[in-house]
Amino acid sequence: MTVAYDGHGFHGFVAQDGVRTVGGELRAAVSKALRHDVELTCAGRTDRGVHAWGQVVSFDASGSSFDADALQKSVNSQLGPAVVAREVAVVDASFDARRSALSRRYHYLVLNRPVPDPFFAATSWHVKTPLDLRAMQAAGDALIGEHDFTSFCRTPPGTCSVRRVVDLGWCDAGDDVRRFEIEASSFCHQMVRSIVGTMVDMGRGRLRPGDMSGILRARDRAAAGQPAPPHGLTLWSVRYPAVAS
């Protein structure tokens, strides 16, 4: 199932007792539609306040009279518009939304103008200071490839923070919106938001683009900037081998 959701009002994706999560709501809706309990596996465990356009979840629907269209309609009726099943498909039993993924792609939006905009407020970070887009673009070159991203991750000591970034970049999306896109094999906790926060510091002139290599080599969270707010971040898509779809 390919799922889109507005992260506001949810304590992230992963189901937790006593709080409202995307995964908890979605699991209950799918279980109700199929009339048996399911366990969901998601491609990316988005944090509190983070959105998704192309989250992918897998689950076992065996033992039920499965109708993809009926399941999609039921889930959307129960959860829409905050959570929407964009597509439902049958896949091979070996498919796993998390382990079968080759890469995940995230978008981050920055509204760069003096005055806030209520129509962008829910999905972008409002930055008043004019940003040097070229400086932010140049800073990304050092991050391409496989690196230890400890400087950009909130992870327990001893946790592996090596990730492989295959693509990233900034663009002018119009209407004073700057869009950052990044694709990697996987991401550690707060990695994208920390990269964005550091790059915005470079766009403001607080850091130089050339500082990015040193920040990466430092393997020290204190070397990088503060994480950007969660509401500007969206899990945009997940890439799988052709044989898995």
- Cα separation, 184 vs 237, in Å, equals 11
Q: Active-site residue 117, yes or no?
A: no
Catalytic residue among 6, 17, 47, 220: 47
Q: Where does residue 140 fall: left (phi above 0), alpha (psi -120 to 50 degrees), or beta otherwise?
A: alpha
Residue 146 bridge partners (DSSP): 164
Query: Torsions phi, psi of 25, nearest 5?
Result: -65, -40
Q: In sequence order, which residues have a C-beta less than 8 Å from that of residue 157 and are 6 or more positions away? A: none
220 exposure class (CB count in 10 Å sphere: 0-12, 13-18, 19+): exposed
* CA count, 13 A, side-chain hemisphere, 59: 25
Structure-block tokens of residue 27: 């699991």
Q: Report yes or no: 120 and 111 within 8 Å, Cβ to Cβ.
A: yes
- Cα separation, 128 vs 35, in Å, equals 50
Coil/strand/helix, residue 189: coil
Residue 52 bridge partners (DSSP): 5, 235
Q: Report yes or no: 39 and 27 within 8 Å, Cβ to Cβ.
A: yes
Between the alpha carbon of residue 169 and those of residues 66, 144, 164, 184, the distances in Å are: 41, 10, 15, 12
Enzyme catalytic residues: 47
